[in-house]
């Protein structure tokens, strides 16, 4: 599963980098180990774990905490272990394999890996091959039938299912599109459990994505206060001028 963005939607890739992932992984043990022992060690790799990125990694090799939301063994065949894992962004599956091998005392390495979910998109419902896209494009180009293309190319708003949302007034939209930060009077409604310093998506009342922002206040603080800055705009997605520039008049 590899989400691909077009045109202005490429601005949402930043959100994918922070969203959870799900993988199906095939691990090769270096020695024979009893199945009960394998399952017992796997159960220890759920929740918060400490992980140092592998040698071939695009990030600094320092120990950091990562969250493993779910880990299920699908099949064990001799020294081969097939498992599914749901984890926080930035978790290295091949490092989990080597760490499990070390915990088992036999060593292990990752043999195959398949990403089955990236953020809100999963392999079963949202994946299309290049042949599917070619077929959809041909239908649109030759028959003027865009049904298949609309099924494959989704609205950018679907990328933010897992990110807290704040809906803003029409009068505030164009100001945000010009890089202004979000003031509390511009909020119409918001999700529960927003935490300060986390990523938000700002939406129009119609549900259109306006921008990505960093929360400066929690949900409770936004509801309690009647003035001040609620969030700092970090990435504008909607083109300026889409909504009237009412902020200039005021």
HSE at residue 229, side-chain half, CA atoms within 13 A, is: 11
Contact 24, 82 (CB under 8 A): yes
Q: Is the dihedral of CA 211, 217, 218, 223 positive or negative?
A: negative
* Residue 126, pLDDT score: 82
- Three-state DSSP class for 139? helix
How many CB atoms sit inside 10 A of residue 45's CB? Answer: 17
CATH number of the domain located at residue range(s) 20-118 in this protein:
3.30.70.3190
User: Are 20-118 and 158-249 in the same CATH fold?
Assistant: no
158-249 is classed in which CATH architecture? Answer: Roll (2.30)
* Per-residue pLDDT of the chain in tens (250 residues, 90 and over written 9): 888 888 888 888 877 777 889 999 999 999 999 999 999 999 999 999 998 887 777 777 888 899 999 999 999 999 999 999 999 988 999 999 999 999 999 999 999 999 999 888 888 888 888 899 999 999 999 988 888 888 888 888 888 888 899 999 999 999 999 999 999 999 999 998 899 998 899 999 999 999 999 999 999 999 999 889 999 999 999 999 988 886 555 5
* Domain positions in the chain: 20-118, 158-249
Please choose, from the candidates 180, 200, 177, the residue with its C-alpha nearest in 3D space to the C-alpha of residue 190: 200
Give ∠ CA 7-11-14 in degrees, rounded to 5.
145
Q: Is the dihedral of CA 70, 49, 199, 195 positive or negative?
A: positive
Instruction: For residue range 63-99, list pLDDT tens digits in order.
Output: 889 999 999 999 999 999 999 999 998 899 999 999 9
Bridge partners, 202 (sequence order) = 166, 211
- Residue 209: Cβ-neighbour burial (10 angstroms; 0-12, 13-18, 19+): buried
Q: In what order do the strands lie in the sheet with 121-122?
A: 47-51, 64-77, 80-87, 21-29, 108-118, 121-122
* Backbone dihedral angles phi then psi of residue 75, each to the nearest 5 degrees: -165, 145
Query: Nearest 10 degrees: CA dihedral of 59, 1, 49, 164?
Result: 90
CA 153/CA 94 separation, integer angstroms: 31
CA 94/CA 96 separation, integer angstroms: 5
* Residue 248, pLDDT score: 55
- Residue 172: Cβ-neighbour burial (10 angstroms; 0-12, 13-18, 19+): buried
């Amino acid at each position: 599963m590899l989400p691909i963005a077009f045109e202005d939607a490429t601005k949402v890739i930043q959100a994918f980098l922070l969203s959870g992932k799900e993988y199906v992984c095939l691990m090769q043990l270096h020695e024979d180990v009893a199945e009960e022992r394998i399952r017992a060690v796997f159960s220890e790799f759920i929740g918060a774990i400490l992980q140092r990125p592998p040698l071939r990694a695009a990030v600094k090799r320092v120990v950091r905490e990562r969250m493993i939301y779910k880990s299920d063994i699908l099949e064990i065949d001799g020294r081969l272990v097939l498992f599914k894992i749901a984890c926080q962004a930035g978790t290295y599956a091949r490092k989990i394999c080597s760490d499990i091998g070390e915990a088992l005392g036999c060593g292990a390495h990752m043999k195959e890996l398949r990403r089955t979910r990236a953020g809100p998109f999963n392999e079963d419902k949202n994946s299309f091959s290049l042949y599917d896209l070619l077929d959809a494009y041909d239908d649109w180009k030759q028959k003027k039938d865009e049904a298949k293309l609309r099924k494959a190319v989704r609205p950018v708003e679907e990328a933010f299912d897992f990110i807290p949302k704040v809906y803003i007034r029409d009068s505030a939209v164009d100001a945000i599109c010009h890089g202004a930060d979000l003031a509390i009077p511009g909020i119409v409604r918001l999700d529960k459990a927003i935490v300060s310093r986390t990523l938000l998506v700002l939406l129009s009342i119609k549900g259109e994505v306006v921008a990505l922002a960093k929360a400066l206040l929690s949900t409770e603080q936004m509801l309690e206060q009647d003035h001040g800055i609620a969030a700092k705009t970090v990435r504008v997605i909607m083109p300026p001028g889409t909504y009237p520039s009412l902020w200039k008049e005021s």
